[in-house]
Amino acid sequence: EPEVTQTPSHQVTQMGQEVILRCVPISNHLYFYWYRQILGQKVEFLVSFYNNEISEKSEIFDDQFSVERPDGSNFTLKIRSTKLEDSAMYFCASSEWSYEQYFGPGTRLTVT
Amino acid sequence: TQLLEQSPQFLSIQEGENLTVYCNSSSVFSSLQWYRQEPGEGPVLLVTVVTGGEVKKLKRLTFQFGDARKDSSLHITAAQPGDTGLYLCAGARWKTSYDKVIFGPGTSLSVIP
């Protein structure tokens, strides 16, 4: 069964460093998303991406964040200068129809 | 601000018991999804309900969408330890070219053998 994959599974970085989290959505899906979940807290929407552009972003998704679909298969989230409070699980999701989303296993980002 | 509330926040029951968890909002949704999330993993889609009053069954899980499409419930019959996890509801509202999806905070279920 097709699934969303994410790499790396765990990323440790120092404060101020740039990180790129990678996702391979399900191949025939058209809508792509990033969410984050701070340990013990709710799933928070970051950004949605459709037709090669951001369709919506939350207030969390400030100028430090960017997304890209560099080729036909990858979808990336870049954090330019990480802060301690960026430590969280980051989930990529994709959907064929825009409401039924399939999530990847997540990348645990630890900022030290 | 659209909000989805879920209750109870935590639920601990014995194996074999029945339970119901709730998802409520003041907003109308075009569809609603239920997900289960286990620690350290991504949410897994369980079901989508679209029509007001719709009932869907997935083995021992029964999902209902409220008539007004503002609320939903998940009922588990004869809970098993494998049902342990965080149950998330997510409501979708159509916005011109895509659905805006918001997640509730989840109900953490623990089923004790």
Pairing outcome for strands B107-112 and B10-14? parallel
**What is the nearest CA distance from B92 to chain A, expressed in angstroms?**
6
The conformation of residue A25, written as its DSSP 8-state character, comes to -
For residue A100, pLDDT over 90 is answered with: no
The confidence score (pLDDT) of residue B2 equals 59
Contacts of A33 in chain B (CB under 8 A): 101
CA–CA separation, A93 vs A100, rounded Å? 10
The confidence score (pLDDT) of residue A77 equals 98
Q: What percent of chain B has pLDDT over 90?
A: 83
CA–CA separation, A79 vs A81, rounded Å? 6
Nearest to B108 by CA among B46, B26, B19, B47: B19
Q: Per-residue pLDDT averaged across B92-103, rounded?
A: 76
CA distances from A48 to A41, A96, B113 (A): 20, 13, 40
Q: Per-residue pLDDT averaged across A52-74, rounded?
A: 91
Chain A residues with at least one Cβ partner in B under 8 Å: 4, 31, 33, 35, 42-45, 48, 50-51, 55-56, 89, 91, 93, 97-106, 108
Q: What is the CA radius of gyration of chain A?
A: 13
Q: What percent of chain B has pLDDT over 70?
A: 94
Instruction: Kindly report the average pLDDT of chain A as a whole number.
Output: 93
**What is the nearest CA distance from A106 to chain B, expressed in angstroms?**
6
CA–CA separation, A46 vs A59, rounded Å? 8
CA–CA separation, B89 vs A62, rounded Å? 26
CA–CA separation, A91 vs B41, rounded Å? 9
Q: Per-residue pLDDT averaged across A52-57, rounded?
A: 90
- Answer yes or no: are the C-beta atoms of A45 and A33 closer than 8 Å: yes
| Tens digits of residue pLDDT in A38-48 | 988 888 999 99
Confidence of residue B97 (pLDDT cuts 50, 70, 90): low
Q: Phi and psi for A18 in degrees, rounded to 5?
A: -90, 140
The confidence score (pLDDT) of residue B65 equals 96
The confidence score (pLDDT) of residue B96 equals 65
Question: Which of A91, A99, A100 is the closest to B42 by Cβ?
Answer: A91
- Answer yes or no: are the C-beta atoms of A35 and A46 closer than 8 Å: yes
Cβ distance of A56 and B102 shorter than 8 Å: no
Question: 């430090």: which residue's tokens?
Answer: A64
Beta strands in chain B, from DSSP E residues, in sequence order: 5-7, 10-14, 19-24, 31-37, 44-49, 55-58, 61-65, 71-76, 85-95, 98-103, 107-112
Cβ distance of B41 and A106 shorter than 8 Å: yes
Nearest CA in chain B to A42: B105
For residue B1, pLDDT over 60 is answered with: no
